[in-house]
Amino acid sequence: MIFGFGKEDARWYASYMRDCVEKEQAAAYFVADQREDVTPILSRIEAPVLVLSPTSAPMAPATWARELTSAIPHAQLKLINADVIWSDDIEAWVTASIHDFLAVPAPVDIQSDAIPLARLEGSFQTILFTDMESSTADTQRLGDAAAHDFVRIHNTIVRDALRAHAGREVKHTGDGIMAAFASPSAAVSCAIAIQRAVARMNDAAEQAASRLKIGVNAGEPVAEDDDLFGTAVQLARRICDHASPEQILVPEGVRHLVAGKNFLFADRGDTVLRGFEDPVRLYEVRWRE
């Protein structure tokens, strides 16, 4: 679903409607559009749903897209910082988003990585950090080669999960990966998939290679030079730092954003995080199958 029209889009749409239908049919369509309300049955949708929306289209605010996404189980939301429904850049972003959602390869010229982070500046995003438990201690315990192997395996696990959940790797932090998502539920699902994959790897090994901490937060970061900055990112980092190995922690805001998505949470109470004056209420995502 794509919301919003700019002036040129409105003119194009009007011309398109005139070419497609008679005036009476168009009038009947718009009357039905105003009269029908499917909101009560959104929660019964079982098929996967992708909602695409500009952030500042005048005819349909991005808040509408967020409300729609939150009402549909397992729906994913992707936003782009734009006030028009269509352009060459948006066409590439829409096509890449659909390919990511369907988990099929996109043509080289429309890969989602071609849409720079700067295009998403100011848009609502969910930030995820992973952090390997005590990587220095792992090196001492496992040896350089084995510890390096785990770093490589960690990178593969996280990147595979990002591809499966429409996430974008922002950067490698040395002991982990920072990623961004348009959908909070996709970020939480990705975090669960990562922890489960690492747990399966450790279960199959003679000794646990290492464990991960994951922190998630949502907000409107600042994009610059293919990186993300700002309070939303800093809080995600501090939440990850506070997590225990094998934990996924999210703030109360993220828990509310993914309400109705069948995630299980445990309340970990108000927590004072370094650099933040007010306590942050944290919740642990219960990810074990």
Whether residues 141 and 207 share a domain: the answer is yes
Which one is predicted more confidently, 118 or 21? 21
| Contact between residue 76 and residue 51 where contact means Cβ atoms under 8 Å apart | yes
Query: Given 55, 82, 115, which residue is the final one in a domain?
Result: 115
Whether residues 218 and 88 share a domain: the answer is no
Residue 134 counted as domain residue: yes
The model's pTM is 0.59
> Which of 29-43, 168-182, 188-202, 248-262 has the weakest average pLDDT?
29-43
- The yes-or-no verdict on residue 184 having pLDDT over 80 is yes
Whether residues 133 and 18 share a domain: the answer is no
Whether residues 165 and 271 share a domain: the answer is yes
Q: What domain count does the chain have?
A: 2
> How high is the pLDDT of residue 3?
45
Whether residues 168 and 272 share a domain: the answer is yes
| Contact between residue 131 and residue 109 where contact means Cβ atoms under 8 Å apart | no
> How high is the pLDDT of residue 53?
83
pLDDT band at 115 (very low <50, low <70, confident <90, very high): very low
Per-residue pLDDT, averaged over 12-41, amounts to 80
Residue 63's closest CA among 51, 45, 74, 73? 51
3 burial type by CB count under 10 A (0-12 exposed, 13-18 middle, 19+ buried): middle
Whether residues 102 and 144 share a domain: the answer is no
> How high is the pLDDT of residue 253?
93
- The yes-or-no verdict on residue 122 having pLDDT over 50 is no
| Contact between residue 69 and residue 256 where contact means Cβ atoms under 8 Å apart | no
- What is the domain range of residue 179? 125-285
> How high is the pLDDT of residue 179?
94
- The yes-or-no verdict on residue 1 having pLDDT over 50 is no
The whole-chain average pLDDT of the chain stands at: 80
> How high is the pLDDT of residue 142?
57
Residue 2 counted as domain residue: no
The CATH number covering residue 273 comes to 3.30.70.1230
| Contact between residue 35 and residue 114 where contact means Cβ atoms under 8 Å apart | no
- The yes-or-no verdict on residue 113 having pLDDT over 70 is no
Whether residues 97 and 48 share a domain: the answer is yes
Please report how the helices 144-164 and 184-204 are oriented relative to each other, as an axis angle in degrees rounded to 10.
140
Whether residues 70 and 109 share a domain: the answer is yes
pLDDT band at 153 (very low <50, low <70, confident <90, very high): confident
Which one is predicted more confidently, 257 or 73? 257
pLDDT in tens, 235-272: 999 999 999 999 999 999 999 999 888 899 999 999 99
What is the full DSSP assignment across 23-62?
HHHHHHHHHHHHH---GGGGGG--S--EEEEESS-TTS-H
User: What percentage of the chain has pLDDT greater than the value 90?
Assistant: 32
> Three-class SS string for 102-128?
HCCCCCHHHCHHHCCHHHHCCCCEEEE
Residue 120 counted as domain residue: no
pLDDT in tens, 202-239: 887 765 567 899 999 999 898 887 789 999 999 999 99
Whether residues 78 and 161 share a domain: the answer is no
